[in-house]
Amino acid sequence: MSDDTLVTYELDGPVALIGLNRPDKRNAINDAVVDALKAAVLRAHDEAHVGVLFGHGPNFCAGLDLAEALARATGRIVPPRKRKRHNWHVVFDEIERGPIPFVGALHGAVVGGGLELAMATHVRVCDESAFFGLPEGQRGIFVGGGGTVRIQRVVGTTVMTDLMLTGRLLNAAEAMTEHVVRYVVPTGGALAKARELAARIAQNTIETNWKIVNVLPRVQDLSHDDGLFVEQLNSAMARPPEVEQRLREFVEGKARPLVAPPKEVP
């Protein structure tokens, strides 16, 4: 069951807009939020070509709900009798390795589990208000939303260890340097930029988008030989008819031009 007030869902043409909606608690993630997020993500898989994930209010997400974590630590929430796969892992994997790409629109706090969630999205935009960190060390806990895998692979062990041991926060520019985000925009502009990027991504074929988000992370984990083999299998997969149409459009000079690079070199 999911609570659709905790996570909003809106379809804008081919783009699903999914918003964490618990601003009074800085969009901290409790079990009900994870369930609602899962429902929204699965709905987007069925209805949309691209998803945008954002936070309502002044923050993206303050991570794990520490009040619920305390209730669990003190036995007020009884753990399930069977050890199931961690629900965060299940949902974040649905985002990262599902059928459609996700764009993350980040602002304010993007910390702890909030950063882990953000890193499950494929293209990440932040505004200048955003700050990033892993305060788990200060709370006496450890990352549990896939951060050891997703964050460490992007920023490297040195940076992640520093973030976790010292509790250091990164600003937007530093997050850009560490590849946590790919776009930085003025404060208040992250969602608009994410929607612009999502609309552009939605113009790719569904098939290519699926390959980009599913083949790349898996090949990253393979040897050189196995990676090339998987690449060959995927590029030789049966192509839907729209591929021929797109190739023809280019050959006949009717294709959309490539996106122009910025004029100024940063």
* Residue 145 to residues 91, 111, 115, 234, 259, Cα–Cα distance (Å): 9, 12, 9, 29, 34
One of 45, 56, 57, 66 touching ligand 1HE (CB under 6 A): 66
Give CA–CA dist 100/207, Å, rounded.
Answer: 9
Residues 76-105 interacting with ligand 1HE (rule: CB under 6 A): 88
If the CB atoms of residues 134 and 201 are measured against ligand 1HE, the closer one turns out to be 134
Selected range binding ligand 1HE among 35-43, 56-64, 160-168, 206-214, rule: CB under 6 A: 56-64
**Residues 46 and 37: beta-carbon distance below 8 Å:** no
One of 15, 20, 21, 26 touching ligand 1HE (CB under 6 A): 26
If the CB atoms of residues 94 and 136 are measured against ligand 1HE, the closer one turns out to be 136
Burial of residue 147 (number of CB atoms within 10 Å: 0-12, 13-18, 19+): buried
Instruction: By CB under 6 A, tell whether 111 contacts ligand 1HE.
Output: yes
264 is catalytic: no
94 is catalytic: no
| Min separation Cβ 38 and ligand 1HE, Å | 15
| Min separation Cβ 111 and ligand 1HE, Å | 5
3-state secondary structure of 64: strand
**Residues 110 and 128: beta-carbon distance below 8 Å:** no
Residue type, 81: R
Alpha helices in 98-240, H assignment, sequence order: 113-118, 136-139, 147-166, 172-177, 190-201, 206-220, 224-235
As annotated, the active-site residues are 116, 136
What residue ranges bind ligand 1HE (CB under 6 A)?
Answer: 25-26, 28, 59, 62-67, 88, 109, 111-113, 135-136, 139, 141, 143-145
